[in-house]
Amino acid sequence: MELLIVVVIVGVLAIMTAPRIKSARDGYSVNAARERVTAAVAAARAAAIHTGRESLFWTSGQYISIWTMNPTTGSWVIHTPLQHIGSSHDGVQLQLGGSGWSYVWFEPRGLTKYKPGSTTVFRLVGSAKKDSVCVSRLGQILPRSCIL
C-alpha cells in the first residue's frame, strides 16, 4: 500500500513538472539557435576583415551559411557549409523580420555593403519562446532586446 502511495505521488509530481521542463527545453533551444546565428554573423564580418574580401551571411529557409567573394573570378565561394537551424535545435524556426533581407553583406572593412532602410532582423521562434538577432546598418550585432 505504501509503495502505491509513493508511485502515485511521483506520478503527480511528474505530471506537474512536465510543462515546465518542456518550456525550459524550448527556451534553451531558442537561446542556442540565437547564439549560433550570432556567431555566424560575427564570423562573416570577421572573414571580410581578415581576408580583405567581401563576405556574406546568408539564410535560406532554415539554413544559414557564410560566403566570401573570390576577387579573381568575381564569384561567391562558400566559406562555411550550410547549417540547418531546426535539426540541431528542436522546433526552432528561423524567420526574417524588419527589412526582410535574407542576408547581410559585409565589405572588407567590416561594414555592410548594401544598407537596408532598417535593421536586419532574424527571428528565432520556438513553441513557447521567441528571440531575435538584429544587425544594424553598420554591421554591428545589436543587444538581445532589439526587436521581437
The string of pLDDT tens digits covering residues 85-95 is: 876 677 788 88
What is the rounded average pLDDT for all residues in the chain? 84
Is residue 147 one of the residues assigned to a domain? no
Is residue 77 one of the residues assigned to a domain? yes
Is residue 144 one of the residues assigned to a domain? no
Is residue 70 one of the residues assigned to a domain? yes
Query: What is the band of 98 on the pLDDT scale with cuts at 50, 70, 90?
Result: low
Is residue 89 one of the residues assigned to a domain? yes
* 121-148 residue pLDDT tens: 888 888 888 888 888 888 888 886 675 4
- List the domain range (segments joined by +) for residue 54: 2-135
- Give the 3-state secondary structure of the chain: CHHHHHHHHHHHHHHHHHHHHHHHHHHHHHHHHHHHHHHHHHHHHHHHHHHCCCEEEEEECCEEEEEEECCCCCCEEEEEEEEEHHHHCCCCEEEEEECCCCEEEECCCCCECCCCCCCEEEEEECCCCEEEEEECCCCCECCCCCCC
Is residue 47 one of the residues assigned to a domain? yes
Global pTM reads 0.81
Tell whether the model's pLDDT for residue 82 goes beyond 90.
no
Mean pLDDT, to the nearest integer, of 52-57? 92
What's the CATH number where 108 sits?
3.55.40.10
Is residue 140 one of the residues assigned to a domain? no
Q: What's the domain count of the chain? A: 1
Is residue 141 one of the residues assigned to a domain? no
